Amino acid sequence: AQSVTQLDSQVPVFEEAPVELRCNYSSSVSVYLFWYVQYPNQGLQLLLKYLSGSTLVESINGFEAEFNKSQTSFHLRKPSVHISDTAEYFCAVNRGSNYKLTFGKGTLLTVNP
Amino acid sequence: DVKVTQSSRYLVKRTGEKVFLECVQDMDHENMFWYRQDPGLGLRLIYFSYDVKMKEKGDIPEGYSVSREKKERFSLILESASTNQTSMYLCASSQQGAEAFFGQGTRLTVV
């Protein structure tokens, strides 16, 4: 079975500070990894994904995540956050050809002025 | 752009009612999913379908059933709504092995 652990349920930071949202997964086979973002009163939007190839993946709004197979992690980072980044972030894993997408419990990122 | 449409944003139903939540996707995706989202618990998979008329239980199927008669439509049915089914329900679709696209969600309140 696959599972996802997001180590922090809430992360408060000040504007322009760096942030890291942690995600670890468990799976005995190769996986696809995703980060989704949910702004208040909205559905989930894909932020970035790792399917294969380069272990460092980037989004268009400055977030990046690195797939670390030995540590089974896929942490999300941004060097300088904005107030508009305030949202809940979900890490998810899909076991290759498996249909099932398993989510972590989410991390609420609050960016304060 | 992929569009996943859920029929209602907000619903209020009475205990014991049969409730239908509808979801339609327009990208010919094979896979469709129903999740419920609760504070502190993240998204939990109720049911998913990988083809027309095919379905599999997720992590929390009790009290729910689903129907997929056409590829683009996936319905979630609460046979007899209870107050503990008050939640946000999210529908999603995907191609096999790729990212899922989500609808805006239906906030269901059972009174």
Residue ranges and CATH numbers for the domains of chain A are 3-112 (2.60.40.10)
Residue A60: its H or E element: none
Chain B residue with CA closest to A9: the answer is: B40
Better pLDDT: B6 or A99: B6
Exposed e or buried b per residue across B86-101, where buried means at least 16 C-beta atoms within 10 angstroms of its C-beta: bbebbbbbbeeebbbb
Q: What is the pLDDT of residue A99?
A: 67
What tens digit of pLDDT does each residue of B56-99 get?
999 899 999 999 999 999 999 999 999 999 999 999 998 876 78
Cross-strand pairs, B25: B4
Query: The tokens 């095919």 sit on which residue?
Result: B54
- The full DSSP string for A45-74 is EEEEEE-SS-SEEE-TTS-EEEEETTTTEE
Chain B contacts in chain A segment 10-69 (CB below 8 A): 32, 34, 36, 42-46, 49, 51
| Residue-range domains of chain B with CATH | 4-99 (2.60.40.10)
Q: What is the pLDDT of residue B79?
A: 94
Grouped pLDDT means (10 residues each) for chain A, 113 residues: 88 97 85 91 89 83 91 95 96 75 92 96
Instruction: Collect all residues of chain B within an 8 Å Cβ-Cβ radius of residue A51.
Output: 97-98
Instruction: Collect all residues of chain A within an 8 Å Cβ-Cβ radius of residue B21.
Output: none
